[in-house]
Amino acid sequence: MICCTAGGRTLGQFALVSYIPDPLGRFLDDLRTHLTPGSKPRAHVTVLPPRPLTAEIDKTVKRLAEESQSCPPFDVSLGDIQVFPKTNVLYLSLARGEHELHALHENLNTGQLEYDGPFPYHPHVTIAQDISPDDVPRLLEEARRQWAKYDGPRSFPVEILTFVQNVAPLTWVDIAAFPLAVPVLAR
């Protein structure tokens, strides 16, 4: 997993993500590797961007396990490929699910997990990062061309959140996974 900042700048930090299942996840990983050779992608949408941890890991895991039970699963649909101008990050916008991700972020970005990052929270799926400004137009065109050709699903369920840690440049490891609440149907 690579988050919105380069792997080396997030060493020792933690994030909360929802991985994108195949075949969409595989397509996005292949696209990212094609655009930025040497990357180690695992397609995801970030709920809590990289941050230092101010509490013990086991306490944080316990809190995330409890909090995840208050949120039902939801679907995210992907939109168009765009660029964050300040960072030259290519990303897929969200056509659906942004409201739910914002609500989840607001609920979890408190207490021991509170962090005011360098950018406002903006749910998206990263396609390429750490690219030269000169390469942006070419890579943006290629990403849009590949996305237009893709004929698989463009949406995915957010059912499990995964707490991850950056342990080496470009290397994130899963610490714990939390299923979201299963809705109970009224009879």
Q: Which residue has the higher pLDDT, 181 or 163?
A: 163
Q: For residue 108, is it within any domain? A: yes
**3-state secondary structure (DSSP) of residue 174:** strand
Q: Please write the tens of the pLDDT for every residue from 144-177.
A: 999 999 999 999 999 999 999 998 887 899 999 9
Residue 107 or 168, more confident: 107
Residue 164 near residue 14, CB atoms below 8 Å:
yes
Is position 185 within any domain? no
Name the residue range of residue 75's domain: 7-179
How large is the C-alpha radius of gyration of the chain? 16
CATH code, 91: 3.90.1140.10
User: 89 or 168: whose pLDDT is higher?
Assistant: 89
As for how many domains the chain has, the answer is 1
What is the reported pTM?
A: 0.89
Q: Is residue 186 part of a domain?
A: no
Helix H or strand E encompassing 14: strand 14-19
- 70 inside domain: yes
Residue 166 lies in a domain: yes
Is residue 184 domain-resident? no
Determine, yes or no, domain membership for 100.
yes
